[in-house]
Homo-oligomer: A and B are copies of this chain.
Amino acid sequence: MIVTAEINLQTKGHCDIIDITAQVAKHVGKVGIANGTVTVFVTGSTAGVTTIEFEPGLLADFKAMWERLAPQDIPYDHNQRWQDGNGFSHVRASFLGASLVVPFTDKKLALGTWQQIVLVDFDNRHRSRQIIVQVMGE
């Protein structure tokens, strides 16, 4: 059995990290599937999905890590070709990955207490984002 939903949200870009755990858990809770997996997938090539302890210190640390690893201000061929200035956003997104799969049993996600599901929007501007939340199980 499969039930698919969308989460639609507005982001500020620039490594905006948004906690979507409650929305994912709500979808899992209401679809009538006890055991299975939920696949969380972000449509687009400048955002990714992962888990993190959602507290302000780590959100800052995670952003700082990305700025060290794929800085905004180094030259990118993408920027030269397309003049949109978001080459750093793309390489970060490809690095982090667009999908996350979380198992659940008795409708309870296998997350730790301090482990939240987040969208990370790396783009260099505000964006409207669509996240697919697909529950599969029995």
Interface set, chain A 74-109, CB cutoff 8 A to B: 76-82, 87, 90-91, 93-103, 105
Bound CA–CA A99/B101 (angstroms): 6
Q: Do B76 and A39 have beta carbons less than 8 Å apart?
A: no
Q: Do A65 and B95 have beta carbons less than 8 Å apart?
A: yes
Bound CA–CA A56/B76 (angstroms): 11
Q: In the complex, which range does the number of interface residues on chain A fall in? A: 35 or more
Given contacts A69-B69, A96-B95, contact A103 B61 (CB under 8 A): no
Q: Do B95 and A110 have beta carbons less than 8 Å apart?
A: no
Given contacts A39-B103, A58-B87, A136-B137, contact A52 B1 (CB under 8 A): no
Residue on B nearest A59 in the bound complex, by CB: B77
Contact string against B for A residues 40-74, beta-carbon threshold 8 Å, 1 for contact and 0 otherwise = 01011100001111011110111001001110000
Bound CA–CA A43/B63 (angstroms): 23
The residue that A90 contacts in the complex, of B52, B95, B132, with Cβ under 8 A, is B52
Contact string against B for A residues 3-16, beta-carbon threshold 8 Å, 1 for contact and 0 otherwise = 01000000000000
Chain B residues contacting A95 (CB-CB under 8 Å) are 50, 65, 96
Judged by a CB distance under 8 angstroms, whether A31 is at the interface is no
